[in-house]
Every structure is written in structure tokens, then in C-alpha cells.
């Protein structure tokens, strides 16, 4: 049997074959490593995205709960005013009453100062609101929290509440009055 191990052509062919195998294996290994890195990066990104979404959801829930707690605390801690005394104060010294009772106007019934504004309940079971955004006055059901601003004409007098509203409407006792400056 002939021994071809000393033949330079065969040696060259075998060496070429081995080099090609090493190159192919090296390229396959590099490709697998690159694919692994890509998949690892994608999983890390997905995990970070999931954690960020969970954090945002938690922050939204906490913010909603804080608003609800603040509103409940505001309702519990809102001082109830002695409206007949307030009316006497307005009649005795309107300027002082306006500076002391910011946002309150002359009205019969019950009133509460709230962080969100003024709640006024009349004997007719209505509350009145002068909206800050439009300056229009609208009747609401008793128990609504409302903010009041503007010049309000009531049954017995005029209460100056805030100067920048020039047109308000008040509905009370089945009548409607316009106040214009």
C-alpha cells in the first residue's frame, strides 16, 4: 500500500481542507455568539420595558389614591361657616367682609369653604357655581364642590367676589338675574 503522507500535493490539499474547516467553525461560532448577544439584548430590553410599564402603572395608581385621599381630607376638614353671621358681617362692613371672606358672596343657606372653592347651599336645595373658565353661573345639585368668582346679584344685595368676571348669571327661587359691569 502506497503512503501518500509525504506527497506535497496531498499535504497541501489536507492543510487547505483543515483551514477551511477552521474558518467555517470560527464563523459559525462567531455567528452563534452574535446571535446570543442579540437575543440577550432583546430580552434585557423587554425586561426593562416591562419594569418601566409596571413602575408607570404603580405611579398612576399612587397618584390617583393620593388625589382621592386629599379630596376626602378636604371634605372632612372643610370649616362650616355661620352664614347668618357672614351676612351680618357683609352688611356691617362689606369691604372688610370681602377681604376676610375671599370668594364668598351674600347668600342665605349654608356655605363651606373648600380647597377647590366655595360650596353654597340655599334653602331651595340648590348650590351655585360661577365657573372660573367661562365666568358663567350655573345651578348645581346640593353637595357639589364649586368655585365662585365674579359679581353675583342675590336676593338681598350685591357681593363683590373677584373683579375679572364681567358677566354672571344666578338662578335662584325660579328667577334669573344678569349682572353686567
Name the percent of the chain in helix, strand, coil, to the closest 5: 50, 20, 30
- Span 29-60, pLDDT tens digits: 998 999 999 999 999 999 999 999 999 999 99
Quick one: cell of 16? 487547505
Query: In which residue ranges of the chain is pLDDT below 50?
Result: 1, 78-84, 86-87, 90, 94-181
User: Which residues are bridge partners to 151 per DSSP?
Assistant: 160
Give residues with Cβ within 8 angstroms of 162, minimum separation 6: 103, 149, 150
Q: What is the pTM of this model?
A: 0.31
Where along the chain do its domains lie? 1-77, 83-180
Amino acid at each position: 500500500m502506497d503512503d501518500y503522507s509525504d506527497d506535497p500535493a496531498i499535504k497541501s490539499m489536507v492543510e487547505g481542507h483543515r483551514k477551511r474547516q477552521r474558518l467555517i467553525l470560527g464563523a459559525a461560532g462567531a455567528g452563534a455568539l452574535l446571535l446570543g448577544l442579540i437575543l440577550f439584548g432583546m430580552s434585557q430590553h423587554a425586561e426593562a420595558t416591562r419594569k418601566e410599564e409596571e413602575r408607570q402603572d404603580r405611579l398612576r395608581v399612587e397618584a390617583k389614591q393620593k388625589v382621592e385621599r386629599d379630596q376626602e381630607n378636604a371634605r372632612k376638614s372643610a370649616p362650616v361657616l355661620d352664614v347668618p353671621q357672614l351676612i351680618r358681617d357683609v352688611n356691617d362692613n362689606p369691604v372688610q367682609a370681602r377681604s376676610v371672606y375671599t370668594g364668598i358672596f351674600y347668600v342665605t343657606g349654608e356655605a363651606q369653604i373648600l380647597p377647590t372653592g366655595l360650596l353654597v347651599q340655599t334653602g331651595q336645595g340648590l348650590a351655585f357655581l360661577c365657573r372660573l373658565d367661562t365666568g358663567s353661573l350655573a345651578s348645581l345639585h346640593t353637595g357639589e364642590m364649586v368655585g365662585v368668582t365674579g359679581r353675583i346679584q342675590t336676593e338681598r344685595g350685591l357681593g363683590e367676589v373677584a373683579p375679572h368676571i364681567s358677566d354672571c348669571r344666578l338662578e335662584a327661587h325660579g328667577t334669573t338675574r344678569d349682572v353686567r359691569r
